[in-house]
Amino acid sequence: MSSLDRPTPRPGVMNIAAYVPGSDSAPGAMKVWKLSSNETPLGPSPAAREALENAGRHLELYPDGSATKLREAIAETYGLNPANILCSNGSDELLGLLAQTYLTAGDEGIYSEHGFLVYRIQILASGGVPVIAPEKDERADVDAILAAVTERTKIVFLANPNNPTGTYLPVDEVRRLQRGLPGHVLLVLDAAYAEYVRRNDYEAGIELVSSSENVVMTRTFSKIYGLAGLRIGWMYAPAHVVDAVNRVRGPFNVNALAIEAGAAAIRDKAHVERAAVHNEEWRTWLTDELTKLGLRVTPSIGNFVLIHFPENGGKTAEKADAFLTARGFVLRRVTGYGFPNALRMTVGAEEANRGVVSALAEFMGG
């Protein structure tokens, strides 16, 4: 059949490799620990569960199209102007809306070598050209990003901390990046894991957005708040960016359940702190124990660790993945991110963390 006999996607669409979520399947295992999607082992706040239940009584009504209650809760938490906040169906939607709003055919979008795969997808989906900036020591390199800028560059995506490496750029480096970009280039700071960071030289991006006209910060409720199933994201941006994206987004892109649960979750600071403390303790433990097994772990400040397997000796990531999955431990292959011999592991509950280390000790010693 000729391509003229049926609708065909516009050029570039079929060059997109569809995003593949982390697996949750371990056939034959009696119990499954899903450690492939960076979900919190503590689950959502009890306050969010209660708000969700109450909101479920009025599903016949459209949600507030401006997500006012949620924006006000976010603004209250961070001391921001609600007018500079826009909420979304997960932060992934915002990445797409920003690309759609600011890229035209042939425009270039830059992201780092091991950056989040959704950046490439959204640049291509908007008709843009993805440009990859090399990293240094598995960390974004400001000089490489700036060297990649051309007259066609319109947007730069920077995950900070980065997924899947867990590495980050200190605030001084992020500010140097912003200063080096032309004023018409939009810098998108994807701070999906910001709530887990306990470093004095880190900023999620609020200060830089407040003092710039070309910086946007995106955040999510899918990680530390435990609301991945509700799909809630938000961005803090200059008024002109909010105005532009508001014209492109769907009119009810955040559902009523998400608005209520999100507002309750962000106000439960004690629950968030418990999740952060759990993560700090067990990420450190995992890094130490995995290193003792002879495995290299990229230093991470997120809620996951990137585990590298030996280049020789047959103890590959592929074999480790099969070994772990057979025992119910589902980790994330990261070949698509340029790490064919590594696995990304979410910091899980104590039972899961100890189980993975025990299983890998058996695997490495076998």
Provide DSSP, 19-53. Answer: --PPP---TT-SS-EE-SS---TT-S-HHHHHHHH
Mean pLDDT on 334-342: 97
| pLDDT tens-place string over residues 147-184 | 999 999 999 999 999 999 999 999 999 999 999 999 99
Q: What contacts 132, CB < 8 A, 6 or more positions away? A: 110, 111, 112, 113, 148
How far is 122 from 203, CA to CA, in rounded Å? 25
How far is 131 from 108, CA to CA, in rounded Å? 7
| pLDDT tens-place string over residues 57-116 | 999 999 999 999 999 999 999 999 999 999 999 999 999 999 999 999 999 999 999 999
| pLDDT tens-place string over residues 353-362 | 999 999 999 9
Question: Taking a C-beta distance cutoff of 8 angstroms, is the pair 256, 108 a contact?
Answer: no
How far is 31 from 194, CA to CA, in rounded Å? 31
How far is 278 from 350, CA to CA, in rounded Å? 9
Mean pLDDT on 13-34: 84
Q: What is the pLDDT of the chain when averaged over all its residues?
A: 96
CATH number for region 46-268:
3.40.640.10
| Buried residues in 105-140 as b, exposed as e (16+ CB within 10 A) | eebbbbbbbbbbbbbbbbbbbbbbbbbbbebeebbb
Mean pLDDT on 302-316: 95
Helix, strand, coil share (%) of the chain residues, nearest 5 = 40, 15, 40
- What pLDDT does 1 receive? 55
- What pLDDT does 202 receive? 98
Q: What percent of the chain has pLDDT over 70?
A: 99
| Helical spans, DSSP H, in 59-134 | 68-78, 91-102, 117-125
- What pLDDT does 19 receive? 82
Q: What contacts 217, CB < 8 A, 6 or more positions away? A: 189, 191, 204, 205, 206, 208, 209, 235, 236, 237
| pLDDT tens-place string over residues 46-74 | 999 999 999 999 999 999 999 999 999 99
To the question of domain 3-43+270-365 being in CATH 3.90.1150.10, the answer is yes
- What pLDDT does 18 receive? 83
pLDDT(20) > 90: no
Chain centroid to Cα 12, Å, comes to 24
> How far from 43 is each of 40, 222, 225, 328, CA to CA, in Å?
6, 10, 7, 20
The SS3 assignment for 282 reads helix
| pLDDT tens-place string over residues 230-263 | 999 999 999 999 999 999 999 999 999 999 999 9
Q: What percent of the chain has pLDDT over 90?
A: 90
> How far from 287 is each of 135, 177, 323, 341, CA to CA, in Å?
22, 30, 20, 17
pTM over 0.85, yes/no: yes
pLDDT(6) > 90: no
Q: Would you list the domain boundaries of the chain?
A: 3-43+270-365, 46-268
| pLDDT tens-place string over residues 276-302 | 999 999 999 999 999 999 999 999 999
Question: What DSSP letter does each residue of 292-360 carry, written as one string?
Answer: HTT-EEE--SSSEEEEEPPSSSS--HHHHHHHHHHTTEE-EEEGGGTEEEEEEEE---HHHHHHHHHHH
The SS3 assignment for 8 reads coil
- What pLDDT does 27 receive? 83
